[in-house]
Amino acid sequence: MGENIPIGRCVVAVDGPSGSGKSTVSRRLATSLGARYLDTGAMYRAITWAVLRSGVDLNDAHAVAKVAGEVDLRIGTDPEGYAVTADGVNVETEIRGADVTAAVSAVAAVPAVRALLVARQRDMIDKAGRIVVEGRDIGSVVAPDADLKVYLTASAAARAARRSAENASDVAATAADLARRDQLDSTRKADPLAQAADAVVLDSTELGIDEVVARLRELLTERGVA
């Protein structure tokens, strides 16, 4: 990490649809700020992994919430390398798989699951003080008082191309899956994917990662918290 990095409190909320570059941008921004990093999506994915392993019906909200309340979920906040574990099992690889990806929107829509994880996320933010948090409801629900709220987006074609390159998957199939997840996440009753009213919208379609991070640093500097 660079020298002369401020040590004061700084909370950055990065929201947006899948494939917009949230994870890479957030990690790199956190590193440049000397801050922690929290991937809230990984938390929902880890709970989903536990739910699938338990064999409960995804449509049984009570059963899903019970699993979520019992699993020992742990996630690191080091932007340069962190682990996600569930009941002592490192699930970082498993939670990125097709089964979890197909089921995570259903699990994340359960109000009790969201209440549980939002409370935990807020606690982690308070303890970190200086942190970049990425997800789908950070600026609107988890950290409404964040110093900077960003809604990072990109064209559907760009998002599908990026995600298919990451997963070595078919672009058309990936585009359909992203559209499905965005629809489910933006229409759920509990804490839907939404752009906070005071968020800065940044379209990354034609921008490189470094350009996006530089723009966010400029916005933080303007707010006196970089």
SS3 140: helix
**Helices and strands: H and E segment counts in the chain:** 8, 8
Alpha carbon 18 to chain centroid distance?
9
**Start-end of H helices in 34-150:** 40-54, 61-70, 98-108, 111-128
- C-alpha span between 58 and 142 (Å, rounded): 24
Predicted TM-score (pTM) of the model is 0.88
**Maximum Cα–Cα distance across the chain:** 51
Amino acid at the residue 39: D
Strand blocks (E) in the chain: 10-15, 36-39, 73-75, 84-86, 89-90, 130-135, 148-153, 200-203
pLDDT in tens, the chain (226 residues): 444 444 678 999 999 988 888 999 999 999 999 999 999 999 999 999 999 999 999 999 999 999 999 999 999 999 998 899 999 999 999 999 989 999 999 999 999 999 999 999 999 999 998 999 999 999 999 999 999 999 999 888 888 887 777 776 788 887 887 888 777 777 777 777 778 889 999 998 888 889 999 999 999 999 888 6
- C-alpha span between 203 and 183 (Å, rounded): 19
Identify the CA nearest to 53 among candidates 38, 41, 70: 70
Kind of pairing between the strands at 200-203 and 73-75: unpaired
Polymer length in residues for the chain:
226
